[in-house]
């Protein structure tokens, strides 16, 4: 498989939650930047896969539906330039930071009165 010609993505530049490294090394999972699904990596590239169905494909019966086209994110080069421990530390820090966030306070406001429909006004 050939790469898709786009510049190499460094694993350390990705958010830690879009990457999954194994403690034993080897298999790495990356979220495809085009279709947003988790894909495995082989030879430093995202494996070839098919993207989402073209719009309107649901209208076809399942047996005649054309298979979805190849995802343009196939063959994206990703260089894993950090160790499992480094990635794990980054992920833990991100999880801790997200856990400290507070939701905004919801202030309930009274809803404005809805005027009656024109037909109802005429009836009065
Ligand atoms: Zn994809």
pTM comes to 0.69
CA 93 / ligand 1 centre spacing (Å): 28
CA 7 / ligand 1 centre spacing (Å): 16
Token pair listed for 92: 């833990």
CA 64 / ligand 1 centre spacing (Å): 23
Question: What is the predicted pLDDT for the residue at 124?
Answer: 56
Question: What is the predicted pLDDT for the residue at 14?
Answer: 92
CB 47 within 8 A of CB 58: no
CA 36 / ligand 1 centre spacing (Å): 6
pLDDT in tens, 69-112: 999 999 999 999 999 999 999 999 999 999 999 888 999 999 99
Alpha helices, H only, the chain: 84-99, 118-123
pLDDT in tens, 112-123: 998 888 888 876
DSSP-based three-state secondary structure for 17 = helix
CA 70 / ligand 1 centre spacing (Å): 8
DSSP state of 2: -
pLDDT in tens, 38-66: 999 998 999 999 988 888 888 888 888 88
Q: In the sheet that 28-31 helps form, which strands lie side by side, from edge to edge?
A: 19-21, 28-31, 38-42, 45-46
CA 17 / ligand 1 centre spacing (Å): 17
């Amino acid at each position: 498989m050939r790469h898709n010609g786009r510049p190499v993505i460094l694993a350390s530049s990705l958010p830690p939650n879009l990457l999954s490294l194994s403690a034993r090394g080897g298999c790495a999972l990356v979220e495809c930047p085009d279709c947003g699904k988790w894909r495995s990596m082989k030879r430093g590239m995202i494996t070839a896969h098919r993207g989402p169905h073209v719009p309107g494909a649901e209208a076809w019966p399942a047996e005649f539906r054309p298979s979805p086209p190849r995802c343009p994110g196939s063959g994206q080069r990703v260089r894993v330039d950090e160790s499992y421990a480094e990635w794990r530390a980054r992920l833990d820090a991100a999880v801790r930071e997200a856990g400290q966030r507070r939701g905004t306070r919801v202030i309930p406001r009274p809803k404005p009165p809805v005027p009656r429909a024109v037909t109802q006004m005429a009836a009065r």
